[in-house]
Amino acid sequence: MQSSHLREHNLSTVLRAVAGAGEPVSRAALAKRTGLTKPTVSKLVQELLDAGLLVEGQQPAVRASGRPMIPLGIARGSVLGVGLEIAADHLACLVTDLGGRVLHEDARFGAYAGASVDDVAAALSELLDDALSPRPDVPVAGICVSVPGRLGPDRATVLSAPNLAWRDVPLVERLGRLPSFRGFALTAGNDSMLAARTEVLRRPGESFLFLHGETGIGGAVVLEGRIHGGEHGWAGELGHVTISPGGELCRCGRRGCLEAYASYHALRGRTGLPEDVRIEDLVAATAERLRSREAVMEMIGRPLGVVLANSMNVLDLSTVVLSGYFAPIAAELEPVLREVVEAHALTAEVGPIEIQRSAADAHPALSGAAATALEPILTAPARWLDRR
Amino acid sequence: MQSSHLREHNLSTVLRAVAGAGEPVSRAALAKRTGLTKPTVSKLVQELLDAGLLVEGQQPAVRASGRPMIPLGIARGSVLGVGLEIAADHLACLVTDLGGRVLHEDARFGAYAGASVDDVAAALSELLDDALSPRPDVPVAGICVSVPGRLGPDRATVLSAPNLAWRDVPLVERLGRLPSFRGFALTAGNDSMLAARTEVLRRPGESFLFLHGETGIGGAVVLEGRIHGGEHGWAGELGHVTISPGGELCRCGRRGCLEAYASYHALRGRTGLPEDVRIEDLVAATAERLRSREAVMEMIGRPLGVVLANSMNVLDLSTVVLSGYFAPIAAELEPVLREVVEAHALTAEVGPIEIQRSAADAHPALSGAAATALEPILTAPARWLDRR
């Protein structure tokens, strides 16, 4: 490795170790965790302290054994990551610092399902201004926009977002034209993938299938703490796994997709609920229509279970994490999911299937977007330091 | 990295680079390929030459620019890997050296579908004796047995092999009791996974879904040249992906598995062919029954296509490799597979789906078993050298 690459790699390793520690850590502990020598760690830490990315905490009393341990942490509010979220029923903005502390959070509720790109862009621009104007001097690592749709391999164009009625929208370019966005590193991400990212931070190193129920259904494949992106970043699109070839028409134009049976739209359509029922009220309203909460779980759980079992057979995973509107009903869904999965998944032969509720907060895609916006610093701190 | 680990890692890197080169390589080329310095490569090469694992070829004429290039290759027949194969209609043995050269190949045809473990073990023992008795002084790296069934996470017990009518057979332990097997490093592997391994050697670095049609149907998930094993080594069990919940009874005991629709057994059963029809003759015999070769392709291709499309949506892959009895009919299957996959796989939105025929030989599982038997040396050459 060349020395500039080595410096970048080591700085990144140390910065991630501090950010991931969750509590103040000493230089000695960092050396242990990263496998770097203590002198190397000390030199790297000094660089990060000088740049204002790390801070030293209060020096504790001298320990019984030898030298005092000075705790290191991520500096509060020194660099910002901005997450923006576009959803059918709201737009949101979240600003965090490198330590994941929430500095600002804001949302606008409304019917964005049929909104034009210009209207959405203008509203996002206002949200961004409100978030950043009180902090004019704090550097921003980047902005990441969560989109409820499929992005092109460029991660900048929305190929299709049926729940917004968008097709082939060059979102990053359109936003970049607005003054508020100028000069910022701007990316876009699929909402389910960003939600999965938040889940991964809560479950470091784990392997699981992630299933995210929103107006559509998305998902992710997480292998040993890493999201498997695939060739176009579309891996884990469990909402468009076919459960019935030639079956129900999906909003994506295909037939028989899981999403056509178990998404918000599908449930609403199948039970004749009004268009404006909130996703938070979907299960209760459906249960009222069907006069049985159990019937709702059957309706959602059977198709979901088939897709989960099949995905488990492809990947040999035994853990499923339910997110979005599936999260609050995870315990209720579990019996029917378990029945279907155990009937079809090979892994059930040798051990228990784990069906878990998401450990993330209420807005995992938004949190994931803010974390993604900070990623350039965590990956390449030297480049960031050298530019400043 | 500790120096003993570093030595092991570097020796392995160099040995794999020579083995994978396919033609003689110079020390300078090895340095370039491995990223190691030339003096380090020279030192490691000398160790491998001294141990007899590498050989120097004829020194070519001095090149125009500077020093002569001495080509290095894997020594012929210096270490053996033994693959054994258990299939419903034959047992086989293949001996190769570290360079992949075939030194011995033998097979016995017969009806092993209902054979006892003792009978199979005795026959394998004879095949092994025939293979090794002419080479009493050549070290054997290991023996790997290909099994048409699912292995336990210990890779030693056959949990179920419906096509042999075996359940919970401690195969490695049973074989280890026989004198012929004593003292050898012995492992077992699933036939489809071993066949996939052979395919990976032919397609280094590629990502694809591998589908292996035998009496049952197996498969593998290959990501950037590595087989994704999953938690129990069962990833890619595409034969047991459900295409119809509650559908046809599969030999695994589940309902609606792909294998219950498109395997040798399924086709034979569905068209009333005699029990002794050879797998090589399956398609022709089925076509005769149905009076249409196209109908056979529909019968196989529709269920296969659904499973492939769904797996592609889970993994975001765009290449499928057909092996086993699917390989010779890959071109005929392609139109129907393409139709189904393009109707259901997201990846078809942005680029072509590749449906390819296996690049491997006629007995990929057996070749994969022999290669697996050699793996301990390639992974840990230092341990091998130090033991001798």
From A11-15, B55-59, B143-147, B184-188, the region with the lowest mean pLDDT: B55-59
Both B306 and B347 in one domain: the answer is yes
What pLDDT score does A215 carry?
86
Say how many CA atoms lie within 13 Å of A293 toward its Cβ: 7
Output the domain CATH number for residue B284.
3.30.420.40
Asked, for residue B235, whether it belongs to a domain, the answer is yes
Q: What's the pLDDT tens digit per position in B356-383?
A: 999 887 899 999 999 999 999 999 999 8
What stretches of B102-202 adopt beta strand conformation (E)?
Answer: 102-109, 140-147, 150-151, 158-161, 166-169, 186-190
Task: State the DSSP H helix or E strand holding residue A290, giving kind and residue range, or none if neither.
Answer: helix A282-290
Two tokens, residue B145: 């047995």
Asked, for residue B199, whether it belongs to a domain, the answer is no
> Which of B74, B105, B132 corresponds to the end of one domain?
B74
Two tokens, residue A276: 């404006």
Looking only at Cα atoms, what is the longest distance across chain A? 72
Predicted confidence band at B350 (pLDDT cuts at 50, 70, 90)? confident
Domain span at residue B323 reads: 204-357
Asked, for residue B222, whether it belongs to a domain, the answer is yes
Q: In this complex, which of B234, B344, B347 lies closest to A254 when CB atoms are compared?
A: B344
Distance of alpha carbon B244 from alpha carbon B382, whole angstroms: 51
> Which of A39, A58, A74 corresponds to the end of one domain?
A74
Both B116 and B143 in one domain: the answer is yes
Unique residue bearing structure tokens 């599982």: B365
Q: How far is B345 from chain A (nearest CA, A)?
A: 8
Residue pair B171/B186 in contact by the 8 Å Cβ criterion: no
Both B213 and B337 in one domain: the answer is yes
- Among the listed residues A184, A192, A150, A182, the one whose alpha carbon sits nearest the alpha carbon of residue A169: A150
> With 80 as the cut, is the pLDDT of residue B63 above it?
no
Q: How far is B299 from chain A (nearest CA, A)?
A: 15
The values of phi and psi at residue A62, to 5°, are -55, 130
Asked, for residue A120, whether it belongs to a domain, the answer is yes
From A336-340, B181-185, B359-363, the region with the lowest mean pLDDT: B359-363
Asked, for residue B268, whether it belongs to a domain, the answer is yes
What pLDDT score does A89 carry?
86
Domain count, chain A: 3
Check A346 against B237: CB less than 8 A apart.
yes
Both B138 and B25 in one domain: the answer is no
Q: Is B113 helix (H, G, I), strand (E, B) or coil?
A: coil
What pLDDT score does B23 carry?
86
Of all residues in chain B, what percent carry a pLDDT higher than 90? 77
Interface of A with B (CB under 8 A): 150, 152-153, 159, 207, 221, 223, 228-238, 240-242, 245, 254-256, 302, 306, 309-311, 313-318, 340, 343-344, 346-347, 349-350
Give me the count of residues in chain B.
Answer: 388
- Residues in chain A closer than 8 A to B221 (CB atoms): 314-315
Both B149 and B168 in one domain: the answer is yes
Using alpha carbons only, how large is chain B's radius of gyration in Å?
23
Distance of alpha carbon A215 from alpha carbon A376, whole angstroms: 30
Asked, for residue A146, whether it belongs to a domain, the answer is yes
Output the domain CATH number for residue A8.
1.10.10.10
Unique residue bearing structure tokens 């359940």: B167
Unique residue bearing structure tokens 């071993």: B194
Q: Can you give B30-73 as a three-state secondary structure string? A: HHHHHCCCHHHHHHHHHHHHHCCCEEECCCCCCCCCCCCCCCEE
Q: What is the mean pLDDT of residues A186-205?
A: 94
> Which of B74, B103, B122 corresponds to the end of one domain?
B74
What pLDDT score does B361 carry?
78
Both A28 and A94 in one domain: the answer is no
Both A208 and A351 in one domain: the answer is yes
Check A234 against B340: CB less than 8 A apart.
no
What pLDDT score does B305 carry?
97
What pLDDT score does A62 carry?
56
Asked, for residue A386, whether it belongs to a domain, the answer is no
Distance of alpha carbon A43 from alpha carbon A20, whole angstroms: 20
> With 70 as the cut, is the pLDDT of residue B66 above it?
no
Asked, for residue A387, whether it belongs to a domain, the answer is no
Both B288 and B378 in one domain: the answer is no
Predicted confidence band at A55 (pLDDT cuts at 50, 70, 90)? very high
What interface predicted TM-score (ipTM) does this complex get? 0.88
Q: What is the mean pLDDT of residues B42-53?
A: 94
Residue pair B162/B251 in contact by the 8 Å Cβ criterion: yes
Check B344 against A232: CB less than 8 A apart.
no
What pLDDT score does B215 carry?
85
- Residues in chain B closer than 8 A to A302 (CB atoms): 245
Both B91 and B119 in one domain: the answer is yes
Both A188 and A97 in one domain: the answer is yes
Both A113 and A213 in one domain: the answer is no
Both B275 and B218 in one domain: the answer is yes
Q: Is A348 helix (H, G, I), strand (E, B) or coil?
A: helix
What pLDDT score does B68 carry?
66
